[in-house]
Amino acid sequence: MAWQFGTIDFSTFGVMVSKSTGVLDFHKLKNDGYEWLDKDGKDYWQSTPKYNDREIILNCWIYAEPLRNSMGEITIKGYDNFRTKIQSFTDELKAAGKVTFVTPYINLSNCSISSGIQIVRETNYVQEQQIGTFSLRITVHGDSDYDFISILDKSSSDVKEVIKTKNLTINKTLQGEEYATCTCETNTPLTCGMYDWIRVNTDGTNLDAFLLPSTPEVQKQSTNKFVYNLRFEGITLHFKQMKFILFGESEFEFYGDLSEIAALICENVDRFIFFGNNRFTIGSCAATVKKLHNFANEDCLSALQRICGEYGMEFRFERQPDTKYKIYISEFESKANSVVLTYGKGNSLYNISRGAMDTSKLCTVLWAYGAAKNIKAGYRDGLKRLSFDGNPLKQNEATYGTWERTVNFDEIFPQRTAAVTGVLHVFPDTELPPEPPATIQYLTEAEKEVYPNGIFVIADNTLDFDLNDYLRGGLTAKIVMKTGDLAGYQFDILRYDNQYQYIHIIRFEDEIGGLLPSATLQFKPGDEYTLVDMDQPTPYVSTSEAALAVKAQEYIDQWSVPQYEYTVKTNPAYFAANPGNGFNVGDILTVTDTNLGISASHRITSMSFNYNSKIYDLTLSNFKKPTKRQQTEFRLQVIERAIFATKKETGEVIRDDKQPVGELGRTLLDPDNKLRVDNLILNGTIDGRMLGLDSNMPQIHLTDAWFEDHVGGNVDQAKQYAGQITIHNWAGINRFEVQKMKDNDEVYDPSRTWNIEETDFTSLDPTKSFNIYAKLNIAPGSTAAEIFLSEGHFDPKTEIEDGYVIYNLGNLTKDI
């Protein structure tokens, strides 16, 4: 009977087999089946069975005798020939590799020697015949456990390495990490390095890219055995590596909507050295409102995750055929998956587990509030925030008990957003460029006296109420621009002209001393703005309350029902029978189980995919629960942004008695640091006759009203002759109102005249002094005036009689 290992005939080397074990044994099945506890036997999903290695053991002996020449003389002793045969036989076996093993019974392919040979010499070495015994272990190889994975070059995308691994696993979290891990052994060191990549299909349709973030981790176990632990990161790796920068700053404020921020993030990621332009672009983005956002030393991924979270949006990446990516952003960035997850043999699940009820957001009683903006004093018995009738809302309290939550919807407050219908910009000469555009207006000489810092006005002919009636004491009303060149900037309102619906604004001084509006950044018709820091008319308050009620109802509808998290393990047999199906995070699919009372749609919030077994481990829920690591990162980012905000030197964040220092400064001073008188002294709050704001002439003027003492040489007589007294700033207004009248060719005359009748004073005591007073009737239309003498003092401001005002015109001194 012949025994031959590949081309090695045992008989050639004097090897005989005395006993064989395992030659006719069957391979053991290596496929992982699933033992259904309520079914008979194991269930195997693989279409082709795979088998484990098995071993054949041969008990052999080898014979050698001396070699003789033709004369019968010994040329090689038996022992030497014995050693030569052993060496040749073992050398041949070592070099054979995997071959077909021919036995007297069957031929076995894919065989190799599994261990070394230890031969025991059974005879004395001086004997001519030499015999040795040994055991030969032969491995009959079964099917490989390994998958072959191509690693592609980061630049050319050509295959750089092919590795064997049996534990490639892809892990994904909704709006979070995506990575792949595996181990492999090689005979020589791998040449792959940072940013080389693999591609894996996990959803049955698209290939996902995963990149090496660094030189791979390796352990050298021998000169020809290297063990690698490989971790490939998803495409979000580049977003983690790139900082979110604007104009060279990593700490900045940006006013914009989500699409604008996402576009900026894409521009930042494109700085990556191996990328070209527009590697990442926006595929689509849901419409969102513009907000003022703070960024402080964030990477692009953190910024994208946080801003999407603040807007209640989600994002996903979609690889394009040209190795570029599009980012899609919407409120619910998911797709419906037609697979129905059901437990059981022949169905899609091996097992299903339901976690404990999550009560972290359970809410059966909701106290919902809006922002504390534009809320007038005394609103709803002193509430500081916007509220609504029926607050708090209650839902499912009888079923799940009382779970109270307080939620502030700071984006909802009484407000009026409208478009600018007209603008006026008149700049000081000092700010005009050498060759100003033709559209730039100059201040006239007269305007320079009234408006030394320029004129900046927006008009809104749709404004349906008088702003002056809704100003709040101690707080300056403002406009916030929502669109246009000045979007995001906030401007204090200097005054409002209800007649023409003009809003005069105070220019804004930025952090580097620039003034806005400027020659390049200006208001334009059509720009949208919002009024803040002022009371709002009742219709706007009612509208915002209704919006708050709707938002609150949506919240309690979602969270008044307990949330559960499900974990499932898929049955690969089902997917082998239904090819083309797969999963991705965010997919919405139906889960049914009669015993657990489940029949609803749920989202995949995290998944793990074993590339070798094709088994998915899925986490399903209708809410996204951040990991502890994510929670820690978010808290640190919030703290860092808060530190950034409070360290700013602009006074708007440093408060004194709830009023920003910057706002107080703008109230007291013009942008050129001159005292802003008109904001300090409101028209009508003090007697205009005490100040000459609008006139360069005396306040009081007498016409023909002569006063004579010692009449007829008598020291006890005096006389007041008939005439007139005029107060030139009786109806004084501020300089802006004066300028408006002049602009409209109206006559500005704030004076008022009274008639003085002739009056004789007799029997005066020449030893006393007297003050001369004019007593003016201030009744509308009256011109009556009386001159009287008094030894006492009358304060014109405090000693005002009903219907009269008293002025001191002079004094009459004593003679003795």
Condensed to tens digits (0 to 9), the pLDDT of residues 208-248 reads 889 999 999 999 999 999 999 999 999 888 899 999 999 99
Average pLDDT rounded to a whole number, residues 548-574: 90
Residue that is last in its domain, among 675, 710, 738: 675
Residue 696 has pLDDT above 70, yes or no: no
Quick one: what percent of the chain has pLDDT higher than 90?
37
Same domain, 715 and 786: yes
Of 453, 549, 556, 449, the C-alpha closest to 505 is 453
Average pLDDT rounded to a whole number, residues 118-139: 89
The Cα–Cα gap between 813 and 138 comes to 141
Same domain, 14 and 136: yes
Least confident of 77-86, 393-402, 440-449, 632-641: 632-641
Average pLDDT rounded to a whole number, residues 745-756: 87
Average pLDDT rounded to a whole number, residues 662-677: 60
pLDDT of residue 638: 53
CATH number of the domain bearing residue 269: 3.55.50.10
Residue 625 has pLDDT above 60, yes or no: no
> pLDDT per residue over 633-651, tens digit each?
555 555 555 555 544 433 3
Which residue type does 105 have? Y
Same domain, 744 and 790: yes
pLDDT of residue 28: 84
What six digits make up the tokens of 382? 């002193």
pLDDT of residue 663: 57
Strongest mean pLDDT among 34-38, 319-323, 517-521, 627-631: 517-521
Q: In what order do the strands lie in the sheet with 422-427?
A: 417-419, 528-532, 478-481, 490-497, 502-505, 455-459, 422-427, 441-442
The Cα–Cα gap between 691 and 117 comes to 118
Same domain, 372 and 489: no
Strongest mean pLDDT among 288-297, 343-352, 390-399: 390-399
Sorting pLDDT into bands at 50, 70 and 90, what band is 572? confident
pLDDT of residue 512: 64
Name, in order, each residue with C-beta under 8 angstroms of 353's C-beta and a sequence gap of 6 or more: 566, 567, 568
Q: What's the pTM value of the predicted model, to 2 decimals? A: 0.63
Same domain, 603 and 549: no
Residue that is last in its domain, among 315, 330, 345: 330
Name, in order, each residue with C-beta under 8 angstroms of 295's C-beta and a sequence gap of 6 or more: 244, 246, 250, 251, 252, 253, 254, 303, 641
Average pLDDT rounded to a whole number, residues 127-156: 90
Average pLDDT rounded to a whole number, residues 722-747: 79
The Cα–Cα gap between 548 and 183 comes to 54
pLDDT of residue 687: 47
Same domain, 127 and 194: no
pLDDT of residue 30: 76
Residue 108 has pLDDT above 90, yes or no: yes
Could you list the beta-strand ranges (E) of 454-521. Answer: 455-459, 478-481, 490-497, 502-505, 508-509, 515-516
Query: Considering its fold, how many domains does the chain have in total?
Result: 8
Residue that is last in its domain, among 116, 140, 164: 140
Name, in order, each residue with C-beta under 8 angstroms of 302's C-beta and a sequence gap of 6 or more: 240, 244, 633, 637
Same domain, 734 and 723: yes
The 10 Å Cβ neighbour count of residue 50 is 15
694 vs 112 pLDDT, higher one: 112
pLDDT of residue 632: 54
Of 111, 92, 104, 109, the C-alpha closest to 2 is 104
Per the rule left: phi > 0, alpha: psi between -120 and 50, beta: everything else, 136 is beta
Q: Which domain holds residue 713?
A: 683-812
Sorting pLDDT into bands at 50, 70 and 90, what band is 488? confident
Average pLDDT rounded to a whole number, residues 163-187: 93
pLDDT of residue 212: 94
Rounded to the nearest integer, the mean pLDDT of the chain is: 83
Same domain, 10 and 59: yes
Same domain, 213 and 120: no
Same domain, 343 and 375: no
The Cα–Cα gap between 174 and 565 comes to 14
Q: Which residues are bridge partners to 182 per DSSP?
A: 230
Average pLDDT rounded to a whole number, residues 453-478: 86
The Cα–Cα gap between 586 and 51 comes to 37
Average pLDDT rounded to a whole number, residues 5-17: 93
pLDDT of residue 222: 92
Average pLDDT rounded to a whole number, residues 68-79: 86
447 vs 752 pLDDT, higher one: 752
pLDDT of residue 365: 96
The 10 Å Cβ neighbour count of residue 564 is 18
For residue 104, whether the previous peptide bond is cis, meaning omega lies within 30 degrees of 0, is no
Same domain, 36 and 127: yes
pLDDT of residue 648: 45
Could you list the beta-strand ranges (E) of 778-814. Answer: 784-790, 804-812
Same domain, 624 and 671: no
CATH number of the domain bearing residue 586: 2.30.300.10
Sorting pLDDT into bands at 50, 70 and 90, what band is 666? low
Buried b (16+ CB within 10 A) or exposed e, 651-662: eeeeeeeeebeb
